[in-house]
Amino acid sequence: MLSAQEKQQIFHGKMDKGYEKERFESLSIKTSVAKKFNGFCRKMSLSKSMTLLAMLEFFEVNSISPNETMGPNMQTLESEIKKRINAVIAIIKDIEKNHDKPTTAMLQSLFMEFEPKEKKLILEKEIKEKKVQFVEKLDSNNQL
């Protein structure tokens, strides 16, 4: 059997970090809402207090009201972002077409004109065919 101190340590170990010293308060909510909230808490793997706190902070940080629907707002935001991305792509293509390609072509033509002649490597030796000065006679009599 566990002592009272061990029970208290186990209980405090399960409590939310940073909120161990605070006392609990009760809220009155409808049964169906409580069941739905309990399921949500399990999905979040948080206590009920931490889940509710996370929800409140989310609404405050993002300046969102639970009464507003985010569907149209998110869709318009997405379409605006797509329009801006398409505009950036068009600008990049224009720069590439009207600036980069002509400049590259001019530079290549300049380098083609002043291209240095290829020097042979030191390791490469020119093999010159030497003129034969002496020819061996194929006659077996050794006569000239």
Q: What is the pLDDT of residues 11-54, one digit of tens each?
A: 444 567 777 788 888 889 999 999 999 999 999 888 898 999 99
Alpha-carbon span 108 to 123, nearest angstrom: 30
Residue 38, classed as helix, strand or coil, is helix
In a domain, 127, yes or no: no
State yes or no: pLDDT of 5 exceeds 60. no
Residue 52 has a pLDDT of 92
Q: What is the mean pLDDT of the chain?
A: 77
pLDDT band at residue 9 using 50, 70 and 90 as cut-offs = very low
What is the structure's pLDDT at 63? Answer: 78
When divided into structural domains, the chain yields a total of: 2
Average pLDDT rounded to a whole number, residues 71-77? 73
- Confidence at 64, pLDDT banded by 50, 70, 90: confident
The pTM of the full predicted model, rounded to 2 decimals, is: 0.41
Say yes or no: 31 and 2 in one domain.
yes
Judge if 57 and 75 occupy the same domain. Answer: no
**Could you list the residue range(s) of the whole structural domain that residue 38 is in?**
1-68
Within-domain flag for 118:
no
**Is 56 within the bounds of a domain?**
yes
Three-state secondary structure call for residue 17: coil
